[in-house]
Amino acid sequence: MDNRGGFDLRRVLLFRGLNGCDLTALLAKARQEAAVRGSTFFNECDDALHCRLLVAGRIKLVQTSTDGNQVVTRFVAPGEMFGWAQVLGASVYPGSAEAMVDSVALTWDAASMRSALAAHPVLALNALELLGARLREAQDRLREVATERVERRVARALLRLARQSARPTGEGVEIGFPVTRQDLAETTGATLHTVSRILAAWEHSGILAGSRQRIVLLHPGRLETLAEDGG
């Protein structure tokens, strides 16, 4: 089996259950694409001609509203697909994909991914499951933003980030890629000012430590309390 880009593609959830042959054939159709930190794989409203699998790095998907406000719809970790728009019936990307660190993706054109989905039911079912999970996550976040205080939303966001990309350190769990207060604000629907204040308070009370773009959760348990019962 192939092992392109130093990444084990059998681990990719979308490909689970696909036999080696078919996987190799599918891979043959992909090309590799890189984006340095700060650049994008695609921008909001670009024609959605491709879909991608993140192989290395970290991406954020960002939607911008007419008045310039931005929202981070998802952080993408290696092994996850992104930019499905065309495959799923949209003609343009609903958001931009910005590399938070230097990143590498495998890129398919939407048409061949569609035919692969049609040819391999297991692939389509996997896609449905993944998409279902994403829909549930989006709805959960909707409920949070609609009903919960900023502090709690920030707590949840940090826990999600930690779950997706924990890097154990001496004194706690570090989030494994650079996250600005602005990023956190855009995932939680708050301003960077409020986020900054909240994090400062938490640093003060020993729940977390951090410096520029780095956040270490010293006390995930206490964060979970904050996230759940609003202690």
Partner DNA sequence: CGGTTTCTTGATCAACGTCAATATGAGTGG
Partner DNA sequence: CCACTCATATTGACGTTGATCAAGAAACCG
Q: What angle do CA 194, 161, 166 make, to 5 degrees?
A: 130
**Residue 203 in the binding site for its own copies (CB under 8 A):** no
Closer residue to its own copies (CB): 56 or 145: 145
The secondary structure of 35-66 as a DSSP string is E-TT-EEE-TTSB--EEEEEEEEEEEEEEE-T
Check: CB of residue 63 under 8 Å from CB of residue 44.
yes
**What dihedral do alpha carbons 58, 77, 133, 47 form, nearest 10°?**
40
For the segment 62-81, give every residue that binds its own copies (CB under 8 A).
63, 65-67, 69, 71, 73
**Residue 129 in the binding site for its own copies (CB under 8 A):** yes
Closer residue to DNA (CB): 36 or 133: 36
Residues that bind DNA (CB under 7 A): 149-151, 180-182, 189-194, 196-197, 199-200, 203, 210-213
The option from DNA, its own copies, none interacting with 9 (CB < 5 to 8 A, set by class) reads none
**Residue 228 in the binding site for its own copies (CB under 8 A):** yes
**Among 217, 230, 151, 216, residue whose Cα is nearest residue 190:** 151
Minimum separation from the CB atom of position 142 to its own copies (A):
5
Residues in touch with its own copies (CB under 8 A): 63, 65-67, 69, 71, 73, 84-85, 87-90, 94-95, 114, 117-119, 121-122, 124-125, 127-136, 138-148, 188-189, 228-230
